[in-house]
């Protein structure tokens, strides 16, 4: 959770006053299936606040309470009777993890042609890989002396190929040095397909999100408050941000709430499915401290450093 917090805070500003603008009060039940896990969430939307809570699980999941006027997000941890308040920050996506030490630069920056020039993302600093003739994969073993599992081998139908045909042993590498590669997270596209439908009484439009050959299909509406992703105590990671992490922000940017979103593998198998299972439009009276405030005896803890 420590790492997902800054990213989450970027979206909070979009929710400031947006709860009013959407004009919706009520409860939305959501199911998110990812990998082998399925989580169910309840969104309770009042005129001033939004509350998100996990309706299943082991009790470790915090309750997210967003105050619409200020954009303050409060994480309530019933499992240890504590809570944490996160203030709205100016959207400014850091290229690197917050707090990550940067290489000191000489005054005035580096001379032309030396080192990184201009603003550098986390992905453009990849050193060029020097290719050398090296042992093939068969020599690999996992770290810590643990043997890596090898894929099942298939016996060659032709025991020996004629000279000059196919891969020959002892053939030196004639491969040119690999070129500098584009960042893996480039090319994120968000497109409206023009298709529309009605889901649970809400007019939805279809959008397609593409990145690195992966495609996610989203049906979303602007008749509900902008989507706020539920934040758990689960940490983010240093790795490239996958579509799974990026699509909520793309919808929030456009003040959309998804009714159905599916990310699939090339094989057609679903990798992630977000689905609104029910929507109940009803009056949510405020103020209601039982819904939108931590309990009085809960202890406030400060946000973690990173």
Partner 1 sequence: MNMKTNTILKGIASLVVGMTLAAPSSQGQGNLTPPGPPAPTMKSLDQIEPRTPISSLPYGITNSGSYYVTTNLNMTANGDGITISANQVTLDLRGFTIFSTFNGGSGTGIHIGVGQNDITICNGHIQSGSTNNNGVYSANGFAAGIGYFMTPPSNVRVANVSLSGFRLDGIYLGTSSSSIVESCSVQTVGGVGIGAASVLHSSAVQCGQAAIIAVVASDCYGSCLGGAALDVLQTANNCYGYSTGGDGLDAGVAQNCYGWSSSGCGLSAQTAANCYGISIGNIGLCASVAAHNSYGASSNGPYGLFAQTATGCTGTNNASGYGLYANNAENCQGYSTNGTGLYALNNAFNCSGSFTGFTGGTIYGLYARNAQNCYGSTGIYGASSCYALYVVNTAENCTGLSGSFAGGIYSTCALNCFGSSLDGDGLDCRTAESCYGENTNTGGGTGNGTGLNAVTAQNCNGYSYGGTGLTANIASACAGTTVSGTAQNIAHKYNMP
Residues 80-119 binding partner 1 (CB under 8 A) are: 80-82, 97, 99-101
Among 222, 271, 288, 303, binds partner 1 (CB under 8 A): 271
Find the angle CA(42)-CA(48)-CA(54) to the nearest 5 degrees.
15
Contact 262, 220 (CB under 8 A): no
Output the smallest distance, CB 87 to partner 1, in A.
17
Residue with tokens 């090296």: 134
- Strands lying side by side in the sheet with 49-54: 189-199, 202-211, 214-221, 257-264, 270-281, 26-34, 37-45, 49-54, 63-67, 73-77, 82-86, 299-300
| Binding-residue pattern over the window 203 to 232 for partner 1, x denoting contact by CB under 8 A | ---------xx------------------x
Binding positions for partner 1, 26-55, rule CB under 8 A: 34-37
- Separation CA 16–CA 14 (nearest Å): 6
Q: Name the helix (H) or strand (E) containing 290.
A: helix 289-292
Which residues on adjacent β-strands are paired with residue 203?
Answer: 198
Question: Near partner 1 by CB under 8 A, which window of 13-21, 41-49, 217-225, 238-246?
Answer: 238-246
Q: In the chain, how many H helices and how many E strands? A: 4, 12
Tell me: does residue 266 bind partner 1 (CB under 8 A). yes
Contact 216, 263 (CB under 8 A): yes
Number of residues that bind partner 1 (CB under 8 A): 88
Tell me: does residue 59 bind partner 1 (CB under 8 A). yes
Nearest residue (CB) to partner 1, 126 versus 192: 126
Tell me: does residue 170 bind partner 1 (CB under 8 A). no
Among 70, 117, 234, 278, binds partner 1 (CB under 8 A): 234
Closest CA to 46 of 306, 296, 285: 285
Output the smallest distance, CB 229 to partner 1, in A.
15
Output the smallest distance, CB 246 to partner 1, in A.
14
Question: Near partner 1 by CB under 8 A, which window of 11-19, 104-112, 182-190, 273-281?
Answer: 182-190
Output the smallest distance, CB 94 to partner 1, in A.
13
Residue with tokens 């890596």: 148
Tell me: does residue 245 bind partner 1 (CB under 8 A). no
Phi first, then psi, for residue 61 (nearest 5°) are -75, 130
Nearest residue (CB) to partner 1, 148 versus 289: 148
Residue with tokens 């159905």: 260
Tell me: does residue 148 bind partner 1 (CB under 8 A). yes
Tell me: does residue 121 bind partner 1 (CB under 8 A). no
């Amino acid at each position: 959770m420590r790492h997902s917090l800054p990213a989450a805070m970027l979206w909070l500003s979009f929710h400031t006053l947006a709860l009013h603008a959407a004009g919706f009060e009520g409860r939305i039940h959501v199911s998110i299936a990812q990998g082998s896990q399925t989580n169910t969430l309840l969104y309770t939307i009042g005129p001033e606040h939004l509350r998100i809570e996990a309706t299943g699980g082991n009790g470790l999941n915090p309750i997210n309470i967003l105050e619409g006027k200020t954009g303050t997000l409060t994480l309530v941890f019933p499992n240890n009777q504590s809570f944490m308040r996160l203030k709205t920050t100016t959207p400014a996506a850091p290229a690197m993890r917050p707090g990550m030490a940067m290489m000191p630069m000489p005054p005035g920056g580096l001379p032309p042609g030396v080192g990184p020039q201009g603003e550098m993302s986390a992905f453009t600093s990849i050193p060029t890989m020097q290719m050398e003739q090296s042992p093939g994969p068969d020599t690999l073993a996992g770290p810590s002396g643990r043997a890596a599992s090898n894929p099942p081998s298939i016996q060659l139908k032709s025991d020996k190929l004629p000279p000059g045909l196919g891969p020959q042993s002892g053939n030196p590498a004639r491969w040119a040095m690999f070129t500098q590669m584009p960042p893996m997270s480039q090319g994120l596209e968000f497109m409206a397909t023009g298709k529309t439908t009605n889901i649970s009484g809400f007019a939805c439009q279809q959008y397609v999100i593409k990145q690195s050959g992966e495609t996610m299909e989203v049906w979303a509406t602007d008749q509900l408050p902008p989507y706020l992703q539920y934040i758990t105590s689960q940490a983010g990671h240093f790795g490239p941000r996958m579509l799974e992490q990026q699509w909520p922000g793309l919808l929030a940017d456009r003040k959309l709430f998804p009714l159905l979103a599916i990310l699939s593998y090339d094989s057609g198998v679903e990798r992630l499915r977000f689905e609104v299972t029910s929507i109940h439009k009803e009056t949510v009276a405020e103020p209601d401290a039982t819904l939108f405030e931590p309990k009085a005896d809960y202890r406030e803890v400060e946000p973690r450093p990173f």
